[in-house]
């Protein structure tokens, strides 16, 4: 694991910022998925039209916007990870904080929507191995 460890207090202090970042990231991802669906449908119409359908430039523009959106998502994930925590699952907003418990490396575990950090787990057990603090 990395060299930085969180105390419970340090991890708790990040929850407001993480809530903001994760909520924005989830919204951006949903918008990107809708945009991706639109691009896919346009592409399929072009293919069915043997490439002769109108809107090739528009499709190329949408593809470029989609690629830029993916890069923006990567930057948002990097901003979360730059805080020192580990984003485990974007869909549920699951975040782990490297910590020490009784001298061993563990994760403090939090999920978007939970009011506080009340769980921890060993490095190799994941969410299923969560135990109350």
Domain borders along the chain are 8-132
Query: pLDDT tens for residues 84-105?
Result: 999 999 999 999 999 999 999 9
85-93 contacts at long range (C-beta below 8 A, 24 or more positions apart): 85/6, 85/11, 85/14, 85/18, 87/22, 88/126, 88/127, 89/127, 90/22, 90/25, 90/26, 90/29, 91/26, 93/22, 93/23, 93/26
Q: Global pTM?
A: 0.80
Query: pLDDT tens for residues 14-68?
Result: 999 999 999 999 999 998 888 888 777 766 766 666 655 555 677 778 788 888 8
């Amino acid at each position: 694991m990395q060299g930085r460890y969180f105390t419970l207090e340090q991890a708790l202090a990040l929850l407001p910022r993480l809530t903001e970042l994760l909520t924005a990231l989830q919204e951006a991802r949903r918008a990107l998925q809708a945009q991706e669906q639109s691009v896919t449908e346009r592409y399929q119409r072009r293919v069915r039209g043997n490439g002769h359908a109108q809107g090739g430039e528009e499709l190329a523009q949408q593809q470029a916007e989609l690629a830029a959106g993916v890069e923006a998502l990567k930057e948002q994930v990097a901003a979360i990870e730059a805080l020192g925590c580990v984003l485990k699952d974007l869909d549920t907003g699951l975040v782990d904080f490297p910590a020490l418990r009784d001298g061993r490396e563990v994760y403090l575990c939090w999920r978007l929507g939970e009011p506080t950090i009340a769980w921890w787990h060993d490095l190799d057990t994941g969410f299923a191995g969560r135990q109350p603090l």
